[in-house]
Amino acid sequence: MSDKEIVNSNETPILKDVVKGAFGSSTSAGDTSGFGGLVTTIQAAPSAQRPYGSYFDEIADALEKALPSQKVTFEQAIERVVVQVDQLTFMVRKEHLKAVARVLRDDPTLRFEMCMGVAGVHWPKEKDRELHAIYPFVSITNNRRVLLEVVTPENNPHIPSITDIYPSNNWHERETYDFFGIIFDGHPSLTRIEMPDDWVGFPQRKDYPLGGIPVEYKGAVIPAPDNRRSYSG
């Protein structure tokens, strides 16, 4: 975060995770890095306050002006705004994701013609906000970028599909469903895309067991990750 970015210092930080060891192993085998005593607290970036800097204020102004056309206000749709490492992110309430995406595409002052897909993130300690979907948008016309981020709980992992607005998101939403278990409501064919159809679980969630099989390497056998020794007792 640059010195020019103004954040809300009174905001209660959102705890995302507490990582122990070098790799944050949570398996029964424990930490295998030798840094079992290392504890790292990860918090969400604080909300930004005006002025955001760069062209970010222009995007926010245009979005605020255009959203009423979708029968929703900026305050209703946007949970908070984050500016970090020269990147503008709108945290969008999931019930208003389609409205925001449609405005980004159609408003003549925004013109975000491309959505580059969607990526999943899993923060199991972020209560009722465990699953995140992150959408990068690009305006070729204006040479600008913006991120939308949507959260949903593990016990109700539903987010609206935006494939009817950005058809190229079809495979990206399937991949995020495949690996994180986020259900994109309205997707035309939400099935696994890389894992077998009968695969159990979602392999990129942080609480997914490492498992695996022993690997032979130049005559030596390396045990599967969950069977390796622990250095931290």
For residue range 124-146, list pLDDT tens digits in order: 989 999 999 999 999 999 999 99
Q: How high is the mean pLDDT of the chain?
A: 89
Q: What average pLDDT does range 180-188 have in this prediction?
A: 98
Specify if 210 maps to a domain: yes
Q: What average pLDDT does range 10-25 have in this prediction?
A: 76
Q: Would you tell me how many other CB atoms lie within 10 Å of the CB of residue 214? A: 10
pLDDT at 14: 84
Q: Quick one: which H or E segment has residue 75? A: helix 74-77
Specify if 18 maps to a domain: no
Specify if 118 maps to a domain: yes
Q: Could you give the number of structural domains in the chain?
A: 1
pLDDT band at 1 (very low <50, low <70, confident <90, very high): very low
**122 neighbors 24 (Cβ within 8 angstroms):** no
Specify if 41 maps to a domain: no
pLDDT at 67 over 60: yes
Q: Look up residue 97 and give its two tokens.
A: 């994701």
Specify if 16 maps to a domain: no
- Please state, in angstroms and rounded to a whole number, the distance separating the CA atoms of residues 142 and 121: 29
pLDDT at 233 over 60: no
Specify if 172 maps to a domain: yes
pLDDT at 230: 63
Cis-peptide into 188, omega within 30 deg = no
pLDDT at 215 over 60: yes
pLDDT at 2 over 50: no
pLDDT at 3 over 50: no
Q: Which residue has better confidence, 39 or 233?
A: 39
The angle at the Cα of 17, spanning 1 to 182, to the nearest 5 degrees, equals: 95
pLDDT at 227: 73
pLDDT at 42: 86
pLDDT at 223: 79
pLDDT at 26 over 70: no
pLDDT at 68 over 50: yes
Specify if 155 maps to a domain: yes
CATH number of the domain residue 184 falls in: 3.30.460.80
- Please state, in angstroms and rounded to a whole number, the distance separating the CA atoms of residues 69 and 103: 8
pLDDT at 15: 83
Residues 6+ apart with CB under 8 A from 47: 7, 8, 11, 80, 81, 82
What distances in angstroms separate CA 94 from CA 18, 134, 140, 149, one per listed residue? 26, 12, 26, 9
Specify if 181 maps to a domain: yes
Owning domain of residue 167: 46-227
The pairing of beta strand 87-92 with beta strand 144-152: parallel
Please report, rounded to a whole number, the percentage of residues in the chain having pLDDT higher than 90.
66
Decide: residue 63, CB within 10 A, 0-12 exposed, 13-18 middle, 19+ buried.
buried
